[in-house]
Amino acid sequence: MARERLDRIIIKDLLLRCIVGINPEERVHKQDVVVTVVLYADLSKSAASDDIDDTVNYKTIKDEIVALVEGSSFLLVEKLAQRIADVCLKNRLVEGARVRVEKPGALRFARSVGVELFRRRMSGSS
């Protein structure tokens, strides 16, 4: 991400359901998770061309995230967030991804608990 400017595409508050957690009851029934993703990419070409082929197709990425999460069964929210980041970075135009995964109501007295991570494309990766 050596460019001076990286633009962002934000997919905010996807409400999904999956198996995630270490407690026995969490391994039986799907729970709500809230996913927010920020995709870092250079959007100048698509801003000039107005052509979908010049940009990150965020609907495709959203569909892949939904399929991953809804079909997943992880012990840790951290692992789920990493796999979501992996999905985002498969797109050749995405140079970095910030992923937040929250479990509403997972802790008493807290609205939610979650993790946020940032991953970037390794140099030479495509």
Q: Where are the domains of the chain?
A: 7-120
Question: Catalytic pick from 30, 59, 79, 103?
Answer: 103
User: Over 60: is that where the pLDDT of 126 sits?
Assistant: no
Do the beta carbons of residue 80 and residue 26 sit within 8 Å?
no
In the annotation, is 79 catalytic?
Answer: no
Taking only Cα atoms into account, the Rg of the chain, rounded to an integer number of angstroms, comes to 16
Instruction: For domain 7-120, say whether CATH 3.30.1130.10 is its number.
Output: yes
Alpha-carbon gap, residue 86 to 74, rounded angstroms: 15
pTM: 0.90
Per-residue confidence band for 124, with pLDDT thresholds at 50, 70 and 90: low
Tell me: the pLDDT tens digits for 18-67?
Answer: 999 999 998 999 999 999 999 999 999 999 999 999 999 999 999 999 99
Per-residue confidence band for 1, with pLDDT thresholds at 50, 70 and 90: very low
Tell me: the pLDDT tens digits for 87-109?
Answer: 999 999 999 999 999 999 888 89
Per-residue confidence band for 123, with pLDDT thresholds at 50, 70 and 90: low
